[in-house]
Every structure is written in structure tokens, then in C-alpha cells.
Structure 1
Amino acid sequence: LIVVGTAVYIGAYAQQFLFAITFNNVREIQPLPAGLFEFVGYQDTTWNELMAAALTGITPVMIVFLFLQKFLVAGLTAGAVKE
């Protein structure tokens, strides 16, 4: 159950990008992946701001992963091993 919940959480977090780029025109309420896309320009990229924003965005996912890592590994290996 925890493995499914973790997979759904990560999938929903990543799926926001395409929806936000396509349908959301208000800059103040964009999710983080769409906001990161704003730092990439046609001619140049502001790498320092992009990396700071990426670190801010990946921190919650890494914290959740670190706390649920043993359940994730146990769930994945339990489904792969035949008893």
C-alpha cells in the first residue's frame, strides 16, 4: 500500500508540468516544474537561479523518499521474489 501511495505521489507531482504549461496562464499559481521551465530561455539560461529552484523543488520529494525508502524497497522486492 505504501509503495502504491509513493508511486501515485511521485506521478502526480511530475504530471503537473504538462497541464500547467498548457492551461495555466497565471504565473503566480504555477506549480514548481512549470516555474523551473521559466528559467530556460531561447538564447540563455540563468543556471544559478534554475539550480536553486530545482533544489527547492526536489527537497520535499527526497525527504518523503528517505522516510519511506525501506517500505518502497520491501514492496518492490516482495513482488519480485517468488516463495
Structure 2
Amino acid sequence: MYEPFEAQIKEWRKDEPALSAAGVLQRLAEIDPARFKAKNIRTVQRLAKAWRMEMAGWSSWMVVGSRPCPHHLPPRR
């Protein structure tokens, strides 16, 4: 559903790093209102979390729940 818009979304997030999931959904709804509705917010929130982790250099498999997996944290000094 979101794959055709992935390049556009990445461009928006590059230009505006603080863009929220709600902001992304609003822009998508302006492009295709029949496809993107308010009920899609949770899906976009999950995707936004994945995009933030990707931008930070994290992989989704490095996270357990909402916290980084301790085995993948940098060593403490």
C-alpha cells in the first residue's frame, strides 16, 4: 500500500525530519484520498518508527518491544 509512495515519503522526511506520522498520512491523503484514511494512522506510525530506526542505522531486528535489544547496544565506557 505504501511502497509506491516510499521514495516520496523519504524525500518528505529528508526535507522535514520532524515530520510526524500524522503529517505523512495527511500528505498521502491529499494525493489519494480514497486510499489513505484516518484509520491508517497506526500503520503509518509503525512505518515511521521503522524509518526513524533506519535513519539512525538500526535494524528492526535489533529492537525488542519499544527498546533496543541489549545485545546490540554499543559497549559502555
Q: Same fold (TM over 0.5)?
A: no
Task: State TM-score, norm by structure 2.
Answer: 0.31
Larger radius of gyration: 1
Larger helix share, 1 or 2: 1
Task: State TM-score, norm by structure 1.
Answer: 0.30
Q: Which has the higher contact order (CA 8 A, sep 6+)?
A: 1
